[in-house]
């Protein structure tokens, strides 16, 4: 049973990676999440370990390296969720349960994860993975 779940997960990761590299991106950006810290949060631990972020990250980096696609690892302390992608305003009181980012400064409204993803894509505060 576990082997089967592991295979399904691995297959899913491979498909996401293949779909990503097929778009021939100029770079791929990943947030260097503090997985160890997140594992200490009992609400997040199960979901995170099941998704095996680490395996995914390594597979993605290896594939990108094979194809010559740069991989940007965003600094762990970059406030990617708190910063407005449109104007740069930093929302210091953003909470984990706030699923929509609403900027007080410019009225930009976007799904929290999309806003963060755009910041991760565009930040210059990163290290190259290889």
> Would you tell me which residues interact with Zn ion (CB under 5 A)?
84, 86-87, 89, 103, 105-106, 108
Would strands 28-31 and 71-74 be described as parallel, antiparallel, or unpaired?
A: parallel
Q: How far is the CB of 108 from Zn ion (least distance, A)?
A: 4
Nearest CB to Zn ion, comparing residues 59 and 82: 82
Q: Residue 70 and residue 79: Cα distance in Å, rounded?
A: 22
Q: How far is the CB of 117 from Zn ion (least distance, A)?
A: 16
Q: How far is the CB of 74 from Zn ion (least distance, A)?
A: 19
Nearest CB to Zn ion, comparing residues 38 and 94: 94
Nearest CB to Zn ion, comparing residues 63 and 112: 112
Cβ pair 66, 113 in contact under 8 A: no
> Could you please report the per-residue DSSP string of 21-54?
HHT--S-EEEE---HHHHHTSHHHHHHHHHHTHH
């Amino acid at each position: 049973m576990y082997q089967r779940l592991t295979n399904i997960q691995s297959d899913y990761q491979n498909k996401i990676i293949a779909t990503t590299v097929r778009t021939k991106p100029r770079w791929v950006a990943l947030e260097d999440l503090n997985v160890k810290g997140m594992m200490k949060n009992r609400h997040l631990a199960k979901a995170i370990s099941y998704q095996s972020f680490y395996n995914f990250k390594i597979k993605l980096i290896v594939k990108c390296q094979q194809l010559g696609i740069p991989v940007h690892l965003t600094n762990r302390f970059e406030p990617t969720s708190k910063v407005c992608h449109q104007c740069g305003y930093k929302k210091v009181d953003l909470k984990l349960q706030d699923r929509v980012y609403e900027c007080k400064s410019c009225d930009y409204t976007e799904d929290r994860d999309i806003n963060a993803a755009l910041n991760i894509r565009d930040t210059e505060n990163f290290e190259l993975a290889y």
